[in-house]
Amino acid sequence: MDAVDELLSIRAAELYYEENLTQDEIGRALRITRWKVGRLLTQARDEGFIRIEIRHSRARRVALERRLRHERGLLDAVVVSRAGVESEDELQRRVAQAAADYLTDLRPVPRLLGVSWGRTLSQVAAQLREGWSAGTSVVQLNGGASVNDRGAAAATAVGIAHKGGGQATLLPIPAILERRETKEAIEADRVVASVLRQAADADAYLFSAGAADARSVHVASGYLDDADIARLTRRGAVGDVVGRYVDADGDIVDPDLDARTVGYPLDALRGAPVTIAVTAGTAKHAVTRAMVASGLCKILITDESTALHLLGGGPDGE
Q: What is the CATH number of the domain that holds 281?
A: 3.40.50.1360
**Separation CA 315–CA 185 (nearest Å):** 51
User: What pLDDT does 304 receive?
Assistant: 93
Buried b (16+ CB within 10 A) or exposed e, 182-218: ebeebbeeeebeebbebbeebbbbbbbbbbbeeebbb
148, part of any domain: yes
Provide the 3-class DSSP secondary structure of residue 206.
Answer: strand
101 and 227 assigned to the same domain: yes
Looking at the fold, whether 84 and 14 belong to one and the same domain comes out as: no
Shared domain for 132 and 269, answered yes or no, is yes
Residue 58, judged by CB atoms within 10 A of its CB (0-12, 13-18, 19+), counts as exposed
Is residue 274 included in any domain, yes or no?
A: yes
CA 304, CA 61: separation in Å to the nearest integer? 7
pLDDT at position 58 is 63
Give yes or no: residues 14 and 122 share one domain.
no
Residue numbers of the domain that contains 114: 62-310
In a domain, 213, yes or no: yes
Residue 80 has a CB neighbour count (10 Å cut-off) of 27
Q: Is residue 302 part of a domain?
A: yes
Q: What is the DSSP letter of 252?
A: B
Residue 25 lies in a domain: yes
Please tell me whether residues 11 and 87 are part of one structural domain: no
Which residues 6+ apart lie within 8 Å of 23 measured at CB?
Answer: 16, 34, 37, 38, 41
- Does the predicted TM-score (pTM) go above 0.85? no
How many structural domains is the chain composed of? Answer: 2
Same domain, 66 and 37: no
How far apart (Å, rounded) are the C-alpha atoms in residues 160 and 202?
Answer: 15
**Can you give the CATH number for the domain in which 38 is found?**
1.10.10
- Do 245 and 107 have their domain in common? yes
The pLDDT of residue 318 is 44
| Residue 225 belongs to some domain of the structure | yes
User: How many CB atoms lie under 10 A from the CB of residue 132?
Assistant: 19
> How many C-beta atoms lie closer than 10 Å to residue 154's C-beta?
17
Contact predicate 225/237, CB 8 Å: no
- The count of residues in the chain is 318
Q: Which residue type occupies 202?
A: A
Nearest to 198 by CA among 208, 190, 207, 186: 190
Kindly state the helix (H) or strand (E) to which residue 77 belongs, with its residue range: strand 76-80
User: Do 40 and 88 have their domain in common?
Assistant: no
CA distance 155 to 138: 12
For residue 301, give every residue at least 6 positions away whose Cβ sits within 8 Å of its Cβ, in sequence order, or none. 77, 78, 80, 95, 98, 99, 102, 276, 277, 278, 279
pLDDT of residue 151: 59
The verdict on 235 and 125 lying in the same domain is: yes
Q: Is residue 297 part of a domain?
A: yes
Domain match, 22 and 102 both: no
132, part of any domain: yes
3-state SS assignment for residue 261: strand
| Angle (nearest 5°) at CA 157 between 152 and 161 | 145
Q: What is the pLDDT of residue 110?
A: 96
Same domain, 19 and 125: no
Contact status, residue 301 vs residue 278, Cβ threshold 8 Å:
yes
Q: What pLDDT score does 252 carry?
A: 96
Task: Determine the pLDDT at residue 314.
Answer: 46
What is the structure's pLDDT at 63? 87
- The DSSP string of 147-184 is SS-SSHHHHHHHHHHHHTT--EE---S-SB-S-HHHHH
Q: Average pLDDT of each block of 10 consecutive residues along the chain (318 residues)?
A: 79 87 93 92 85 61 92 95 82 94 95 94 95 96 68 87 96 89 92 94 96 87 89 95 95 95 94 96 96 97 96 58
Same domain, 10 and 147: no
Q: 10 Å Cβ neighbour count for 318?
A: 12
Whether residue 142 contacts residue 261, with contact meaning beta carbons closer than 8 Å, is answered with yes
